Structure 1
Amino acid sequence: MNSDRLQARLYNLRHNRFFEFFVVSVILFSAVVIGAKTYDIPDNLLTVIGWLDTGITFFFLTEVSVRFLGEPDKRNFFKDPWNVFDALIVVVSLIPVEDSELALVGRLIRIFRVLRMVSVVPELRLLLNSLFKALPQLGYVIMLMFIIFYIYAAVGASFFAPINKVLWGDISISMLTLFRVMTFEDWTDVMYETMTVYSFSWIYYLSFIFLTTFAFLNMVIGIVVNVMEDEHAQEAKVQAIADGEPTIQDLSDQIKELKAMLQQKQ
């Protein structure tokens, strides 16, 4: 009974808005501490920062423990990849590697603690999950973009190499130049240079920019937005089930039952 009461209290604590806000504040403070270590600061202040870093690590350990102990079904805790990520970051942060050859690895792990912001804030977690789920569809868009890049790079290397070998010497360098054009990094300088020899080469650049920067970018945004809408709908459905509210499918089933009853009475 006492264990159930403790579990219920920890469950309420982990879902408490003030507790979540405090955890986010500590994560932000951890990011400030990490940034402070990159400056030349006095040794005494560096010692204070080291103690603060240790305190932050133990706070994260306590927070993960609260979330684990507050989980009604402990087996479901590690089914969530974000819980696994948080636990791994905290456990590795506890390993004393500052004075060893793995000191650089220890610093990198502490830098990645800032990513815990994603696991704590539901909106950020939903956004990142949507990006991951959109990767299969984005893969085909990237493949098509690579084909366009390859074709335009081959054309550019064939025609513009005599003008500037640094930018168009071979197909790999041409692809890098086209990436520069796509990101609008001084692309007009590249275009005007080739226009001195091929006056209509502006068609080459404008068509490439239209296909990559405008068309493909809108396709990527459309795919991500669609996946995010599906994720929002799925989360709303799960929340409705958890709250005991009827979902659209439940309402549809009830309407069908009412129609069947009316038809039987007629």
Structure 2
Amino acid sequence: MYETIKTRLNNLKNNKAFELSVVAVIIISALEIGAKTFPLSSGAVSVTHVLDIFITLFFLFELSVRFIADENKKRFFTKGWNIFDTLVVVISLIPINDSEMALLARLVRVFRVLRMVSVVPELRVLINSLIKALPQLGYVILLMFIIFYIYAAIGSFIFNEINPKLWGDIAISMLTLFRIMTFEDWTDIQYETMEVYPMSWVFYLSFIFFTAFAFLNMVIGIVVNVMEDERSKLRKEKESAQNIPTIEDLHSEIQQLKALIISQQQSTNDLTNKEHLS
């Protein structure tokens, strides 16, 4: 009985129509949250209340389906996205009216929109890639901070008298450099200092080259490499789930068949040699 229910729920979980319905409910949840930020009539408030109950119960049902259909339930809560979905659903069950947890419950309902990431595999790959790229990005960010600090100190020493609001100290100078890196009216800052120091354009162009071009390309390269690894892992998981043999599996089987044929040939040769000797 349990195996039958599990099989049916597993088929439901893998059904495209069910997946689309989950995405549709998440979109409705986002629209419902946005609607609550506007002044609503009493009728509209009642509709959003009913929608909120329906969305919470639907998410609870969807999470139960995934849990029951999972082959290894002990490992279900070892996955970060499953923990996130469970927390969102459980806290969404907290009544938000006349409760000390009302604010927390409302905030968690906002995070229900993030469930789109756990439902859509492509979005999950993007988030996982960004998270796994953080250790490598840390060194790039550290090097960028050093460049920022050096240029901010130079700018504060040289351009302080020209415009103290932009170059008054090293902290303000770093904010000014961030503005330059994002190309937010940076030419106005450059032309202002060039009136006093005509060669100050070298300061700005070299800084933009290091930050906006070199470091940005480093960040993009790291994220793209990690994303490719995540996509290959997702592809292998889909192939293993569908029992599709990979190239490595086929190569291993070929090697096994080759070894079997060689052993059979050796045994045949041994028998032939024994017959000749006899």
How far apart are 1:119 and its partner, in Å?
Answer: 0.2
Q: Distance in 1 between matches of 2:40 and 2:76?
A: 41
Q: Distance in 2 between matches of 1:221 and 1:262?
A: 49
Aligned to 2:57: 58
Aligned to 2:88: 89
Aligned to 1:128: 127
**CA-to-partner distance for each residue in 1:224-260, whole Å, 9 max, x for gaps?**
1111111112222233333333323334445555776
CA pair 71-259 structure 1, distance change in 2 beyond 3 A: closer
Aligned to 2:167: 168
Q: Distance in 1 between matches of 2:150 and 2:220?
A: 24
Aligned to 2:67: 68
5+ residue gaps, structure 2? 267-278
The more displaced of 137-146 and 74-83 is 74-83
Q: Establish whether residue 17 from structure 1 lines up as the match of residue 35 from structure 2.
A: no
- CA radius of gyration, larger in: 2
How far apart are 1:45 and its partner, in Å?
Answer: 1.3
Q: Distance in 1 between matches of 2:158 and 2:92?
A: 55
Q: How does 1:168-207 map to 2 (within 5 A)?
A: 168-207=167-206
How far apart are 1:101 and its partner, in Å?
Answer: 3.7
Contact 2:30 2:110 in 1 (8 A): yes
How far apart are 1:140 and its partner, in Å?
Answer: 0.7
How far apart are 1:218 and its partner, in Å?
Answer: 0.8
**CA-to-partner distance for each residue in 1:160-212, whole Å, 9 max, x for gaps?**
11111111100011000100111111111111111111111111111111111
Percent identical residues: 61
AA aligned opposite 2:48: I
Q: Distance in 1 between matches of 2:135 and 2:142?
A: 11
AA aligned opposite 1:12: N
How far apart are 1:11 and its partner, in Å?
Answer: 0.7
SS in structure 2 at match of 1:162: coil
How far apart are 1:78 and its partner, in Å?
Answer: 1.1
The more displaced of 97-106 and 6-15 is 97-106
Contact 1:7 1:72 in 2 (8 A): no
When normalised by structure 2's length, the TM-score is 0.89
Q: Establish whether residue 103 from structure 1 lines up as the match of residue 137 from structure 2.
A: no
AA aligned opposite 1:159: I
Q: Distance in 1 between matches of 2:142 and 2:19?
A: 41
Q: Distance in 1 between matches of 2:153 and 2:111?
A: 40
5+ residue gaps, structure 1? none
Q: Distance in 1 between matches of 2:116 and 2:146?
A: 37
Q: Distance in 2 between matches of 1:253 and 1:24?
A: 40
Q: CA RMSD in A?
A: 1.9
Contact 1:98 1:106 in 2 (8 A): no
Aligned to 2:116: 117
When normalised by structure 1's length, the TM-score is 0.93
CA pair 11-262 structure 1, distance change in 2 beyond 3 A: closer
Q: Distance in 1 between matches of 2:60 and 2:257?
A: 54
AA aligned opposite 1:202: W
CA pair 244-56 structure 1, distance change in 2 beyond 3 A: closer
